[in-house]
Amino acid sequence: MRRTGLLEGLLASGPDEQTVTHLARTAADSVDSDEAVVSRLPGTGRLVHQTSDDETVVETEGSLALVTDHRVLLVAGSRDDTHTLELPHTDTRTVTADGGLFGTTLTVTCWNSGTYRFEMAGDDPSDAAAYIETAADCWGYVETLLAELDGQIAAIRSHIEAGEHQQATGLFTTATETVTELDERVEAAGLTAALGDRIGAVRRRLHRARVDSRVSRARSLLDAAASMSRDGTDYAGAYERYTEARSRLETADSVARAHDLDTAEVAAVRAQVDRRLDRLAALPVERAEHATARALVTDDCETRVQLLADALARYRDALALGWGTDIETPADTDELRFRIALLANGLVDARYAYAARLESAGDEHATDGEEAAARAQYRAARAQLAAGADRAREFRTPDPDPVERKRSEVAWKLDVLAG
């Protein structure tokens, strides 16, 4: 088709081939390796930059607008001299494509640097303008939410350092929802390649905080369990906390592996939990054996009763630990039952012997007319005999009747003193 008149003149007025090649090469060299080119828009060489105070018009031999998933690059000049302007999507406020008799203008208004009008050389920039608008909205949205996530992650870490694990978990849930929202928005805008790595990085930071929170909570549980077992008051409670710590560490390990995070700290604390559990399994029996050994060599009746009572309690702790848990104590269940029965029998005998000594001391005080002191000794003797009788009935060994008869005798002496 033969073109004539004004249209032919306009089409013939473009830059020469060398200028076009130079502009294209300059634009391509300006594109970073992580950018994807979406549109190439040739221009007439005229570029207008308007600010609130001034307007600058640049007339060159040719121009080219390159739209990428990160920004708009405006390249203008000749084969010998070119200028490149960068308009990031994060700075883009509005974009329009205005057509007229003498051509079309792509207008980009930025938040910080004013308005740029790029005169087109024939191609319709409507699709490019729509893409720039979508990309700018998405980039701005992402930047805002990434800043929010930075604050949320910092708050999560503050809660972790303060031992406020419940608050950290609540914030993590909120932050996870924010990341999911980011993923959906970026995917809808077709900007996963441009923004996916940044979202992936904040997701890793978030899950690193989640892992650290679980490790921190596990350490707290270890400290609580160690205190319980050290005091010898609640071995079952210590076991529950160790197993809870292990569960939290298993979750932490799964999260870390799923997001390619380092698991060295998780593994170290998990090994500590395993060592503590092994130690917990042996501790009650060790303490029982130690108390029994001391009871056998002491000459003090009261000390012997206290040591045998402690040894009996520790053996019963060991037996309870083995029920319904995966702990393997040094002695099996039958062996523990045997030792418990043996100790119960010995404890009844020890209480009887201690009561006899207390009764004898009470008799001496009564003979000397020291009634208050005599009553104190008799009451202490009666308490030992009552405890011994209860233990004998519980374990059905030894026969509780002699103990009960002795308690009745001591009670009679108290009645006599009372008049």
| Domains, the chain | 5-124 (2.30.29.30), 149-279 (no CATH), 284-418 (no CATH)
CA atoms within 13 A on the CB side of 121: 21
- pLDDT per residue as tens digits for the range 278-316: 998 888 899 999 999 999 999 999 999 999 999 999 898
- pLDDT per residue as tens digits for the range 58-68: 888 889 999 99
CA distance 146 to 197: 12
Read off the amino acid at residue 150.
Answer: D
At residue 22, the 3 state secondary structure works out as: helix
Per-residue pLDDT at 264:
96
CA distance 216 to 206: 15
Confidence of residue 324 (pLDDT cuts 50, 70, 90): low
At residue 306, the 3 state secondary structure works out as: helix
CA distance 418 to 387: 23
pLDDT at 194 over 70: yes
| Pair 153, 201: CB distance under 8 Å | no
Tokens of 168: 């950290």
At residue 100, the 3 state secondary structure works out as: strand
- pLDDT per residue as tens digits for the range 73-115: 999 988 778 889 999 999 999 999 987 666 789 999 999 999 9
Per-residue pLDDT at 14:
61
Confidence of residue 8 (pLDDT cuts 50, 70, 90): very low
Per-residue pLDDT at 1:
33
CA distance 349 to 91: 90
The angle that helices 333-367 and 371-395 make with each other, rounded to 10 degrees, is: 160
Structure-token match 């405006």, residue found: 74
Region 199-203: what's the mean pLDDT?
Answer: 95
pLDDT at 9 over 60: no
Mean pLDDT of the chain: 90
Structure-token match 């503050």, residue found: 158
pLDDT at 176 over 70: yes
Nearest-CA neighbor of 153 among 134, 178, 189?
A: 178
CA distance 203 to 248: 20
As to burial, measured by CB atoms within 10 angstroms (0-12 exposed, 13-18 middle, 19+ buried), residue 387 is middle
- pLDDT per residue as tens digits for the range 368-395: 999 999 999 999 999 999 999 999 999 8
| Pair 271, 288: CB distance under 8 Å | no
Taking only Cα atoms into account, the Rg of the chain, rounded to an integer number of angstroms, comes to 43
Peptide bond into 402 cis (omega under 30): no
Enumerate the β-bridge partners of residue 67.
Answer: 39, 72
